[in-house]
Structure 1
């Protein structure tokens, strides 16, 4: 059944920091937030250049006086207004996320932040404590988690359709950075600079996406220990890696493997998650997001299609256009954004149970992503050795 109803009681007054003209990720945030009338863009600090940011904001029909030169001014001035912002999205380089997120929470704002949330577990846990104190939602844009068949996989696993879970294989391995493209591309250059990207490149930028997808499908799994090996095949990127392998041992004996790469020459995207059980497996590939491959041992392969009545009801909640019509990344992001909006409304009325039922990538997902990268780097820098996870 197509779900066309409005999701929230009134659009949430919303601003963005960063995501100005030419920003691919900024466009993704705006398209996702505005699609279901869950948010209304009323303010922003869109660019490090105030004049350029103001001009861009006005082109989005934001009032000139609400196009601010920087995020401290944005938060301070909006707090003075009766119709001030209720939430903010952060679409800036990694090194700025912690400071902006902290300032937003201190201003009592709900936050939607690009990953990584910050660079260290200590910082992440500090943001979690602040979010709890201020009773604010922090959403992290693991956008692929909004695809409908991720929820189908989760329900199949929970229902025992795969049997006892044994292995989880994850990858995000494209080939677009097989050469030093960052020398001529500013949007890539900062991603391989430790001052702006943090302690990793593909581990933090790519690997955390399939890692979270596996977490969404298998919320009960907890890593016991891991081993990481990382490489810089384009030597100028060292000490940051452009390729990495991670082995994970989960509590209870489940094993995991993750390959992250920006030098998988010829691959367009290469993000896949395969969950292997004692009687069957499921596999999702982001280049074919409307299909979930279901393989039962001894039976023909089945391809489950988005929007079909044979799926679990939870996998049909986000259906927009019916089966057969292809949906993509903007729909996935929109699914997350409207759930973020519902979580914000629920938090404002104190309904924690409703928030938990939404299954959003929240502050806990942000903390866990930072913890995973930190442990991977620790293992790799010690010579690719097993390290205890907690």
Structure 2
């Protein structure tokens, strides 16, 4: 069980690019990184495209005014001159900027934590991966939902054969907050998400369902997609060619089948994510709307509910438990678990501790690459008339 004691020798000096006053994700990053003050310390930032607003915001969250920078280029340059300069940077900016900022950060000798989807193309991910390996640095992806303890329980139960052979994968991430075009007109954070030049080739597939797809890979790391079919719609015509609804069918190499529904026009829906893994002996069901419970449904037996924080869970689940059973944990704890693992990975990389790196389960650059590959194949299928395409 986690209690905030240090896992690395000292906190990492951390900065943010983006994540300022108007950001939808900046506070989540800070809640995650700073939950354990033994892992990261926020010492600098280029928080906003508007330098004055960014500086005002940084000061209001306790950053030294002299280290609130007008842009990331200035921050990387000035921090490199300091003995106590930043060591790691989080990128919480619109998708189109991820690659250039990550590239500059790695060349400045900084470890990188980046929003999803990581980049526009898998080629870009491979270039950054090669640079990170050359520099001996870590690149992590903030699949923030993936730090929930019961997902590690699912992973362990599937690995131990407790549901038998996986046959069916049922994934969903839907909400109704974009059921009309009203938010597109008034929210800066929403406007860029439906602009292909900034968001990239997808809207809901890249913005939300990459989380769910990564969770499926987290709990079933042995399951590889052989081919998929994607059918996507723009129910709000002004969003075309980007989709606000999509269905993806998947055939896995072991013969299993899967489906994923992603939507921001599921009017009235407040469920967010739900995953169901069906095996030959039993099924597992988890939802982030009730993340403290995992349904274990064995054929021919009464259904069971496994609760977070209980001693009967796998050690890998309780290793990232924070508050204990009956005490509610949520998304901020999940983000904190991801950020703590980023810190452990960065520390291990610097010490040359390959054993820790090999055993650590966290969303690394390979997870980012897999997410971008999945999006590329979804777009390829949908753009060619929703046909089956080999997963390349």
TM-score with structure 1 length normalisation? 0.98
Does the 8 Å CA contact 1:146/1:336 hold for their aligned counterparts? yes
Name the structure 2 match of 1:254. Answer: 256
- Please give the alpha-carbon distance, in whole angstroms, between the structure 2 residues aligned to 1:356 and 1:282: 27
Give how far 1:4 is off: 4.2
- Please give the alpha-carbon distance, in whole angstroms, between the structure 2 residues aligned to 1:86 and 1:72: 15
Name the structure 1 match of 2:45. Answer: 44
- Please give the alpha-carbon distance, in whole angstroms, between the structure 2 residues aligned to 1:104 and 1:190: 23
Is residue 273 of structure 2 the alignment partner of residue 271 of structure 1?
A: yes
Instruction: Indicate the SS of the match to 1:17.
Output: strand
Name the structure 1 match of 2:364. Answer: 362
Residues 12-38 of structure 1: CA deviation (Å, up to 9, x unaligned): 000000011132310111111111111
Name the structure 2 match of 1:173. Answer: 174
Aligned positions of 1:307-346 closer than 5 A: 307-346=309-348
Does the 8 Å CA contact 2:22/2:189 hold for their aligned counterparts? no
- Please give the alpha-carbon distance, in whole angstroms, between the structure 2 residues aligned to 1:228 and 1:243: 11
Q: Where do 4+ consecutive residues of structure 1 move more than 3 Å? A: 1-4
Does the 8 Å CA contact 1:175/1:269 hold for their aligned counterparts? no
Name the structure 1 match of 2:22. Answer: 22
Does the 8 Å CA contact 2:138/2:349 hold for their aligned counterparts? yes
- Please give the alpha-carbon distance, in whole angstroms, between the structure 1 residues aligned to 2:333 and 2:225: 31
Residues 303-343 of structure 1: CA deviation (Å, up to 9, x unaligned): 11100011111110012111011100000000000110000
- Please give the alpha-carbon distance, in whole angstroms, between the structure 1 residues aligned to 2:289 and 2:164: 27
Give how far 1:116 is off: 1.0
Aligned positions of 1:7-156 closer than 5 A: 7-37=7-37, 38-156=39-157
Instruction: Indicate the SS of the match to 2:268.
Output: coil
Name the structure 1 match of 2:350. Answer: 348
- Please give the alpha-carbon distance, in whole angstroms, between the structure 2 residues aligned to 1:244 and 1:61: 42
Give how far 1:3 is off: 3.9
Does the 8 Å CA contact 1:7/1:36 hold for their aligned counterparts? no
Give how far 1:270 is off: 2.9
Does the 8 Å CA contact 2:105/2:112 hold for their aligned counterparts? yes
Give how far 1:47 is off: 0.7
Does the 8 Å CA contact 1:3/1:318 hold for their aligned counterparts? no
Aligned positions of 1:286-297 closer than 5 A: 286-297=288-299
* Count, aligned residues: 390
Does the 8 Å CA contact 2:176/2:265 hold for their aligned counterparts? yes
Structure 2: which 5+ residue stretches go unaligned? none
- Please give the alpha-carbon distance, in whole angstroms, between the structure 2 residues aligned to 1:64 and 1:2: 33
- Please give the alpha-carbon distance, in whole angstroms, between the structure 1 residues aligned to 2:293 and 2:24: 26
Instruction: Indicate the SS of the match to 1:24.
Output: coil
Instruction: Indicate the SS of the match to 1:299.
Output: coil
Instruction: Indicate the SS of the match to 2:25.
Output: helix
- Please give the alpha-carbon distance, in whole angstroms, between the structure 1 residues aligned to 2:111 and 2:258: 34
TM-score with structure 2 length normalisation? 0.98
Give how far 1:6 is off: 2.0
| Alignment root-mean-square deviation, CA | 1.0
Is residue 204 of structure 2 the alignment partner of residue 202 of structure 1?
A: yes
Is residue 176 of structure 2 the alignment partner of residue 183 of structure 1?
A: no
Name the structure 1 match of 2:222. Answer: 220
- Please give the alpha-carbon distance, in whole angstroms, between the structure 1 residues aligned to 2:55 and 2:204: 33
Name the structure 1 match of 2:381. Answer: 379
Does the 8 Å CA contact 1:105/1:111 hold for their aligned counterparts? yes
Structure 1: which 5+ residue stretches go unaligned? none
Does the 8 Å CA contact 2:24/2:189 hold for their aligned counterparts? no
Give how far 1:133 is off: 0.9
Give how far 1:144 is off: 0.7
Give how far 1:376 is off: 0.2
Instruction: Indicate the SS of the match to 2:246.
Output: strand
Does the 8 Å CA contact 2:147/2:338 hold for their aligned counterparts? yes
- Please give the alpha-carbon distance, in whole angstroms, between the structure 2 residues aligned to 1:262 and 1:168: 21
